[in-house]
Every structure is written in structure tokens, then in C-alpha cells.
Amino acid sequence: MENWQKNERAIQPITSARTREQGHTSDPPRSIILTGNGHTSAAVSERTRSTGMRKILLVANTGWYLYNFRLPLARLLRSRGVEVVMVCPDDPYVERLRAEGFRWVHYNLDRRSLNPFKELLGIFRLMLIYNRERPSAVHHFTIKCVLYGSLAAKITGIRAVVNAVTGLGYVFVDGSLSTRLIRVLVKRIYRRVLTAKRVRVVFQNPDDLQAFADENMIIPDQTVLIRSSGVNLQRFSPRPGAPEVPPAPIVLFASRLINEKGVAVLVEAARILKRRGVNVTVQIAGEPDKGNPSCISEATLEEWRREGAVDLLGHVDAIEELIAVATMVVLPSYYPEGVPRILLEAAAMGIPIVATDVPGCREVVDHNVNGLLVPPKDPLALADAIEQLLANPELCQKMGAAGRLKMQQEFDDQIVAQRTIEVYNTTLAYVP
């Protein structure tokens, strides 16, 4: 982290217009970028024109990711006259992207494959796409797209490349021998592709940034910290006097059903609360991520259904309807997150949050202010935290208000999108 600290003088804090209007200027948001200091929308638009950005490809391993996390960015780019092309495998969310008016290019990618031939083919397919589209810039999300996309961009001569590190991911946390061997290879490739002159790397939390800096996988001057992809403050807003009160307080978990999200830890915490006689309903919304090697098996889900300690809701589109009636939202994740969207959404709606003290989660949760942090893999501590908030409605209300204010000051998705466009402009200006 030493190199990063030497470049602190280059870092400018970003303060949103919303924050300034509310008078909260003494403690600016911690979301930072290595360029600029809060340019206005008009200024960013002018820089977009002056740097010649006419087309950008947003590249991810699912349409689900692009739709749920990058739609505000795509809309803002389009409003600035930039052609935005979505590149990802086919899934149900592709039609939603098309309905928004964005062009989609199919990218055939197997998320779980470790077959060398298939992986080389993945790079070659992106080369074909980049040669055909000839974009001004490409923005890669998720590990395979970052690795393969950066190599393809280098070979095809793409002028500007932005890579998003949205969490360390399975390959950096799994302890199996095969994964450790893959990790060595991934680090080597990262060092090659993330340090090229045409590349900027965007991190969502300082812990991930430090991890990459410690491994010499980044160049500080080409590195940016923008915390999260932001949250829609209009869609996710408090609902005073919201629907009828449920018969029991609701504790909501909403995320992909993979082991590292701590789903089993929550189920055990629910068992503890049940044994204590606590009146509470624990809801789990989400589906197994079958493209992830650590997804929860259908057999395990069926066992939980029969047991009845938790309610399994499956996939829910209108997640704000569930958050609105929840007493709290929990995420007992035990692997380094980017910045979990569900925590942002809950806080934006004025709901207290309980999460583990791991990278990403602690970017959102200020302990004892807008929620509680508990140790990872500790169902007893999680149960205690849930029970503490259930017993104190006034504290829940105060934490909810603090969470909403934090989201307004630091995580507005419009401000995040504007900062990201500034990264594109800086990258284009830097590369001749």
C-alpha cells in the first residue's frame, strides 16, 4: 500500500451537489477519484465531446449485472451523445436492456469453465467484437471479462480500457488446491493487463485496492476508488406509513444464494432465535447462482424449506416492496464484497442494516450509527445483533434515518455515474 499512500496528494474528494445543498460540507463523502474534484454535469459533457468518446462497450458476464448495476451509467452516457453497446452472454435481462433502447452484442462466455481451449476462445471472441465495433473505450466488469477483455483490447489496439474490480471474488477466497493454482495465474495476468498505459482500474473499496497494491498488480496513478455503483434514491426511498404491519417483525436477506454470502450462517442464527422464542420471520430472497462454484444446492434449500426456520422466497424483482416492510436487512457475507447493493438499497429506504465486518460491508455500515457489524461466520453474534434491534424500535428508527442520510451524501447513483464518465474522459485524454 506504500505506493498508493505516496500518491494521496493526487486524490480529490467528491462532494455531491445534493450533499452541498443540504449543508453537509464539513465531512465530505469518502468516495474519491484520482482526477477532478466534482465537475458539473455540463463540464463532464464538454470533456466527453472534447476527448472524442463516441462509442463505449460495457462488458460483463451477465445481462443481469449490466441491467441491475450499470443502467444509470448507460443512460447518462447516452444522454451525452455516446453510443452505448452492452456486451454479455444471453440471459433474461438482455431483453430488458434492449427495451431500454441499448444495442446488445452476444458474448459467449462460460463463467465456470476452466478449460484452456474455452478460455482462449473467450479472448478470441472479444477480439472479434472489438475489431468489429471499434469503440472509443471499453469498460470491463467481473474477473473473466477484466482479464480476457484487457488482453483482447491490447491485441486489437483499443484506445482506452477501464477495468472494474467489484470485489475479489471466488478465485481469491477459496482455499482448494486447484483454486490456489488458478489464483497464481490470475495474479500474473492481472499484473500484465492492469498496468498498461491505456488502462484505468476502478475499485469499490479501499481494502481491495490495498490487496492489489500489495501484490504490485496496479499502478497508483492509474487507479481510482469509486465506492459502489450507487443506489437509485428515488426508487429506494423511505415509505412512511407503509403497508400493513406484518404479524411478526421481518429480517430480510436478499442476495445471490452462494456460500460466501453467509446464507447458512443466517439460517443457523434463525434457529438460535427460534430456540430463544423470539417472534421474528427470517426471509431469504434470491436464487442459487449456478454459474458460481459455491452456489447453494437445491438439496440444501429443500432441507431448509422442510425445517421452516426461514422463509425462502426465490427471486424477487420488486425488492423494494420487501425492504419496505422489513424491520432490518442483514448480509452475513464472509468474503470481500465490492459494495453490496442490497445494503445500499436498505439504507436508502431508511431500514437499519446488520452485516459482517468485511471489506465492502463496512463501507456501508457505520457501526452503531446506521446499523451493526458482526464478526463473519458467527451465527451467535448475528442472532444477538438481530435480537438487539428487534428489542429497540427507537434505535432502528434512528439508524434508518442515519442510513438514508449517508446514502444521500455518498452513494447517489447519478453522482457515481458522473464520476465514472470522468474516468473515461481522463483515460482517453491520457492515451495519445
pLDDT at 217: 84
**Stated pTM of the model:** 0.81
**pLDDT tens per residue across span 367-403:** 999 999 999 999 999 999 999 999 999 999 999 999 9
Q: Are residues 274 and 308 in the same domain?
A: yes
Helix-then-strand count for the chain, H and E: 19, 15
> Angle formed by the axes of helices 41-50 and 413-430, to 10°?
30
Give the residue numbers spanning the domain of 393: 250-410
Using an 8 Å Cβ cutoff, are 143 and 171 in contact? yes
Pairing assessment for the beta strands 311-314 and 223-225 based on DSSP bridges: unpaired
Give the total number of structural domains in the chain: 2
Q: Are residues 226 and 196 in the same domain?
A: yes
Retrieve residue 410's grid coordinates. 455518498
First and final C-alpha spacing in the chain: 29
Quick one: which H or E segment has residue 252?
strand 250-254
Is 50 exceeded by the pLDDT of residue 157? yes
Q: Are residues 172 and 195 in the same domain?
A: yes
Least confident of 82-96, 193-207, 235-249: 235-249
Q: Are residues 418 and 401 in the same domain?
A: no
Maximum mean pLDDT: which of 13-27, 40-54, 104-118, 163-177: 104-118
226 found inside a domain:
yes
Q: Are residues 345 and 366 in the same domain?
A: yes
Q: Are residues 417 and 395 in the same domain?
A: no
Residue 13's φ and ψ, nearest 5 degrees, are -70, 150
Mean pLDDT of the chain: 84
Sheet order of strands, 103-106 included: 103-106, 83-88, 55-59, 137-141, 160-165, 199-203, 223-225
Q: Are residues 300 and 323 in the same domain?
A: yes
Domain with 13 in it: what CATH number? 3.40.50.2000
Q: Are residues 344 and 374 in the same domain?
A: yes
Q: Are residues 390 and 416 in the same domain?
A: no
**pLDDT tens per residue across span 222-232:** 899 998 889 99
Q: 50 or 200: whose pLDDT is higher?
A: 200
How many other CB atoms are there within 10 angstroms of residue 75's CB atom?
Answer: 16
37 found inside a domain:
yes
Q: Are residues 362 and 416 in the same domain?
A: no
